[in-house]
């Protein structure tokens, strides 16, 4: 389950993209770092404002977004 208190959507911050509360670090940015090979230690070393639970919340948010996504494959 996503920790809703850690991930917020505010139209005044990054045009309403989901961000870690109290930062301008988006879920998309954190997930992108991980996709680029960064691990938790790398992220926290470069962004010390983040806690482990913030990174876990980003992963949970992404999981939940994908879970609700509907995909309709096209015929070849």
Q: What is the CATH number of the domain that holds 28?
A: 1.10.10.10
pLDDT band at 67 (very low <50, low <70, confident <90, very high): very high
Is residue 14 one of the residues assigned to a domain?
yes
Give residues with Cβ within 8 angstroms of 19, minimum separation 6. 7, 8, 9, 10, 13, 25, 26, 27
pLDDT band at 3 (very low <50, low <70, confident <90, very high): low
Is residue 72 one of the residues assigned to a domain?
no
Strand 18-20, strand 7-9: pairing: antiparallel
Is residue 28 one of the residues assigned to a domain?
yes
Is residue 23 one of the residues assigned to a domain?
yes
Q: Can you list the pairs that 36-45 forms with residues at least 24 positions away whose Cβ atoms lie under 8 Å?
A: none
Domains: count for the chain: 1
Query: Which tens digits make up the pLDDT trace of 20-58?
Result: 999 999 999 999 999 999 999 999 999 999 999 999 999
Is residue 40 one of the residues assigned to a domain?
yes
Which structural domain range is residue 54 located in? 7-67
- Greater confidence (72 vs 30) lies with 30
| Distance (Å, whole) CA 14 – CA 48 | 20
């Amino acid at each position: 389950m996503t920790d809703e208190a850690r991930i917020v959507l505010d139209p005044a911050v990054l045009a309403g993209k989901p961000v870690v509360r109290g930062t301008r670090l988006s879920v998309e940015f954190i997930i992108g770092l991980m996709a680029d090979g960064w691990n938790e230690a790398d992220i926290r070393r470069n962004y010390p404002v983040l806690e482990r639970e913030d990174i876990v919340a980003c992963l949970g948010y992404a999981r939940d977004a994908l879970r609700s996504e509907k995909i309709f494959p096209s015929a070849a």
